[in-house]
Amino acid sequence: MKKQNLIQIVKFTLFSISAGVIETVVYALLFNVLHLDYWLAYLPSLILSVLWNFTFNKRFTFKSAANVPIAMLKVFLFYLVFTPLSTYLGNLAETGGVDGNLVFIITLLCNFVLEFLYCKFVVYKNQENTLKK
């Protein structure tokens, strides 16, 4: 593995942790404190974390000068598939007796891995390290 790829993984991980903290706090407040249904707690927490993660990873992880609306559209397309699928499966698991917090953690981990791969090989393909300092 190239050193640059390892650095990207570390940066993506750190930014994802910060986004995960935001997502977790919002989810915990909505699910555990306000007692909203799983999907009503999950969706707003996911949206906030995606916006946070996109902003920092574009600039600092992939150092990309990619057109923001186009890059965001590509990320939106990822979440157009991921969000309904993860919401449906998460809700199905939670209503089937799996602890909602466990479902949330598993979903976070899947999102982390899949989003990194998607950003690396789709969103910022051939556009990494193009941001001028």
Domain-located, residue 55: yes
Domain-located, residue 104: yes
Domain-located, residue 72: yes
Domain-located, residue 131: no
Per the structure, the count of domains in the chain is 1
Radius of gyration, alpha carbons of the chain:
16
Domain-located, residue 129: no
Domain-located, residue 132: no
Domain-located, residue 71: yes
Domain-located, residue 130: no
- Distance (Å, whole) CA 61 – CA 8: 5
Task: Give the pLDDT confidence of 67-93 residue by residue, as tens digits.
Answer: 999 999 999 999 999 989 998 999 999
Task: Give the pLDDT confidence of 33-60 residue by residue, as tens digits.
Answer: 999 998 899 899 989 999 999 999 999 9
Task: Give the pLDDT confidence of 101-118 residue by residue, as tens digits.
Answer: 899 899 989 989 999 999
Residue ranges making up the domain that contains 7: 3-123
Residue/partner pairs of 5-11 with CB below 8 Å, 24 or more apart = 8/61, 8/62, 8/120, 9/116, 11/57, 11/60, 11/61
Is the separation of the CB atoms in 49 and 19 below 8 Å?
Answer: yes
Residue 4 has pLDDT above 90, yes or no: no
CA dihedral 131, 16, 47, 62 (to 10 degrees): 20
